[in-house]
Amino acid sequence: MPKLARKKKDLNDRKRKLSTEGRWGFLMVSPYLLQFLVFLLFPLVASLYFSFSKYDMLNPPEWIGIENYTTLVQDPVFHKALWNTLYFTLLFVPAQTILALLLAVALNQSLKGLKFFRIAHFIPVICSWTVVLYVADAILNPRFGLANTILLKLGEKPQQWLSDEALIIPVLVAVAVWKGVGYMMIIFLAGLQNVPEDLYEAAEIEGAGIWKKFRHVTVPLISGTTFLVLVLTTITTFQSFEQIYVMTSHLGDVTSAGGPNNASMVLMLYLFQQGFSFLKMGYASAIAWVLFIILFGITMIQLKLQNKWVYYEK
Amino acid sequence: MNRSCKLGLFLLFSMVLTLGLVGCSNESSSDGKDSDEKVEITLGYYSSGSADEKMEELIDQFEEKHPNIKVKTQNAPYSQFFQKLDTQIAGNNAPDVWLSDGVLVSKYAERGAAKDVSEWIERDLNKDEYYGLDFNKDANGKYFAVPQGIQIGALFYNKDMFDEAGVDYPDDDWSWEDLQEAAAKLTIDAEGNRATDSKFNEDAVNQYGMTFFNITEGWMPVLKSFGGGVLDEELKNSVIDSPENEEAVKWMVEGMEKGILTDPSDLQSFQSPMSPFPSGTAAMRIGIYARVLAANETGINYDVSVLPKGPDGKRFAPVIANSWIVNNNSSDAKAEAAWEWVKFWVTEDDVQKEWAELGEAVPVKKSVANSDLFLNSGENKINKQAFLDSFEFAGTLDTNAVWSEWLQKFNDNINRAFLNETSVEEALKQADKEVTKVLEDFYKK
């Protein structure tokens, strides 16, 4: 049976080839694998271990079981931080997504000076938060700021934009939208440019106006992009730290960040404060894991829901 | 050699390489056995711009004097420095000697990161010759650091503003009540009315009688001179909820309500809470010695006096002794070499003088602090003696291992009282509760 023998030989050859290929493949990815082990897996496992221990960084960690987590459940500041983070996200994600989409649609026309406007909207994205803070201060400064000057002109009472418990999160969201909208706008622009022109033409022949074209052609065709934007924005909001750290560390004193009266304390800030300012690394690790689980959950839900509304062109 | 053998060799090689790299980072903890041999120490300090060059110069001088010691430096801006330091201590590769903010000494001492240098101090230093040694002493009388330079608080006042208002300059007799009376005459609103006028508008103040914020240059000296404070002598229990504190905080809130003291929201209008005095928006401030630099820079006509006394005649000047800490984990040889640096810093007159010329801190060595070089230096002749006199009634900021944590709780609550969001009694009660919890979490477990 020469035919069968050859087949067998062929199979063996392929197997050998595969295994050397596999080895080479393994070798090729080994730098990445090493990087993954050292910089991702190890810290991940370490932080999980720390989250079950009392660890002040200066002394070795001491195993205390789930105590950090039970403390978290009863910690009023943690509750507040959790709520503030959700509140921030609920305001920020829709505001930024809708605004970015509208801007992208507006700047996707063929108009004169379009590049200028695109760049103008992108500038805040490149600026560091410290720079943004200075610009924001020109508007929000209680004494010299533009906002209060206008309020006074209108005969209204001036506001303490950054030291009013009720105002602080909306104000921070407004500034964050101003800084971040340009980036999402660029992503939307890329999505918009992939919508085939002939679909609009077809819609026009059917008698669709601007709104109908937007609603029935643009929105479904860029739903993939919208999904990406939503996921990215949600994740960055949960991780928002720098802005709040810079804008609320009142009176040059960083431990005061998150004020007034913890009204702007968000999870990342609380994690940083507990870990690095107060040396409670174990507790901070527990916060990090809770944050991870929440984010993971939300992203999973978003992924599940995408089947319902995201349209991918086959 | 077949393929799998080559592959194995390659993997082995890369593992050796990785282990080698990991090994390198632990090198600093290895021992330098012989004292005649060259010892290399790492010295860490937080940068403060102009002072860096001088520090490098002094290190060069030190190396010349101690040819067997080689100094490697590590520096970073203030907040990065301490973040990095904590991680380094965790990884057991912190500098052998580092400069610590005075308020953080107990944080390192009580967690075992700072070496107990009591014996060395007994052996090599005559304690009477130095300012501030005792501010680093713990409750058991042990020393964990040696001051590098001292910050001590006094009352800064703008002479031009006092002259214009026809108010006498502050003197040793002033109480906090006198201060508030004078401050009222020095406060001016947008229309030019003084706080003593009935037409005065406290919502639109253009010139404050006194700027006031934070612990050191705000509430702590007032609390203490009224007989109150935050922690007891052991620094392990809160004494916040006391009638003395209540009286002191009421004095502050009253001043803020009238608009003659800056409240936290007033200060938000300024780029920095430090700026109202040097920029000429406030007639007085409580200031540590380093504030002389900013005041000189803007060229205002000012002087300093000791801080006012409380109702019972008690005085208090806040002290921050920024200090050298020797790493508790360094090998003996390295620790000895690090101590040589500390000794060089505090005992050598030249070093003390050169550092004093920068004008950043009161020199540690008394003889230098009391010399002309310190007292009469600079173009602006101010009463620097007031800083030295203040040592008689000086104290720390109740610093302990969890200082920054209790401070945050206290600030949160007292700021609410300052902004009239809660009553003084309520704020102190709440602060007492929260601070007690912080202390118990750390000390009683």
How does pLDDT run across B255-286, given as a tens digit for each residue?
Answer: 999 999 998 888 888 878 888 999 999 999 99
> Helix (H, G, I), strand (E, B), or coil: what is residue B70?
strand
Per-residue pLDDT, B158: 96
- Crossing angle of helices A129-140 and A146-153, in 10° steps, is 20
The mean per-residue pLDDT over the stretch B372-383 comes to 84
- Name, in order, each residue with C-beta under 8 angstroms of A280's C-beta and a sequence gap of 6 or more: A55, A56, A274
More confident site: B301 or B270:
B301
Shortest Cα distance from A162 to chain B (angstroms)?
Answer: 9
**A255/B83 CB distance under 8 A:** no
Nearest to B214 among A253, A278, A279 (CB): A253
Residue B120: how many CB atoms within 10 A of its CB?
Answer: 18
**A253/B272 CB distance under 8 A:** no
Distance of CA A95 to the CA centre of its chain: 14
Residue % of chain B over a pLDDT of 90: 70
Among residues A194, A190, A172, which one has the least CA distance to residue A101?
A190
Check CB contact of A128 with chain B, cutoff 8 Å: no
More confident site: B12 or A133:
A133
The mean per-residue pLDDT over the stretch B289-313 comes to 93
Per-residue pLDDT, B100: 95
Region of B175 please: left (phi>0), alpha (psi -120 to 50) or beta: beta
Interface test mutation site (partner A, options B265, B416, B419, max chain A beta carbons within 10 A): B265
d(CA A130, CA A157): 28
More confident site: A311 or A1:
A311
d(CA B85, CA B89): 6
**B264/A27 CB distance under 8 A:** no
Per-residue burial over A184-207, b = 16 or more CB atoms within 10 Å of its CB, e = otherwise: bbbbbbebbeebeeeeeeebeeee
Q: In the predicted model, what is the mean pLDDT of chain B?
A: 88
**B411/A142 CB distance under 8 A:** no
Q: How confident is the model at residue B400 (pLDDT cuts 50, 70, 90)?
A: very high
**A254/B79 CB distance under 8 A:** yes
- Chain A residues in contact with B405 (beta carbon < 8 A): 255, 277-278
Interface of B with A (CB under 8 A): 3-4, 7, 10-11, 14, 18, 79, 83, 86-87, 89-90, 107-108, 111-113, 213-214, 264-269, 271-274, 402, 404-405, 407-408, 411-412, 415-416, 419, 421
Q: Is the pLDDT of residue B13 over 70?
A: no
Dihedrals phi, psi of B72, to nearest 5 degrees: -105, 135
Residues 273-292 of A with CB under 8 A from B: 273, 276-279
Tokens of B419: 């902004």
Q: Is the pLDDT of residue A139 over 70?
A: yes
The mean per-residue pLDDT over the stretch B419-425 comes to 93
Shortest Cα distance from B15 to chain A (angstroms)?
Answer: 10
* Residue B387 near residue B304 (C-beta atoms within 8 A): yes
**B14/A276 CB distance under 8 A:** no
Dihedrals phi, psi of B69, to nearest 5 degrees: -115, 130
Mind listing the pLDDT tens digit for each residue in B172-215?
999 999 999 999 999 999 889 999 999 998 888 999 999 988 89
> For residue A139, what is the nearest residue in chain B, using CA coordinates?
B269
- Chain B residues in contact with A251 (beta carbon < 8 A): 213-214, 264, 267-268, 273
Q: Is the pLDDT of residue B64 over 80?
A: yes
Per-residue pLDDT, B21: 44
Mind listing the pLDDT tens digit for each residue in B325-366?
999 999 999 999 999 999 999 999 999 998 888 888 999 999
The model's pTM is 0.83
**A160/B405 CB distance under 8 A:** no
> For residue A158, what is the nearest residue in chain B, using CA coordinates?
B203
Check CB contact of A259 with chain B, cutoff 8 Å: yes
Q: How many CA atoms lie within 13 A of A286 on its CB side?
A: 21
Mind listing the pLDDT tens digit for each residue in B204-247?
899 999 998 889 999 999 999 999 999 999 999 999 999 999 99
Pairing assessment for the beta strands B97-100 and B146-158 based on DSSP bridges: unpaired
d(CA B316, CA B309): 8
Per-residue pLDDT, A141: 86
Q: In the predicted model, what is the mean pLDDT of chain A?
A: 88
The mean per-residue pLDDT over the stretch B300-307 comes to 96
Q: Is the pLDDT of residue A251 over 70?
A: no
Shortest Cα distance from A261 to chain B (angstroms)?
Answer: 6
d(CA B269, CA B263): 11
Tokens of A143: 């004494």
> Helix (H, G, I), strand (E, B), or coil: what is residue B412?
helix
**B3/A27 CB distance under 8 A:** no
In the 8-state DSSP scheme, what is residue B290? T
> Helix (H, G, I), strand (E, B), or coil: what is residue B130?
strand
Q: Is the pLDDT of residue B10 over 80?
A: no
Check CB contact of A58 with chain B, cutoff 8 Å: yes
The residue to which tokens 């509760």 are assigned: B433
Report the alpha-carbon angle A270-A275-A280, nearest 5: 110
Tokens of B85: 């330091």
d(CA B145, CA B116): 8
d(CA B43, CA B98): 6
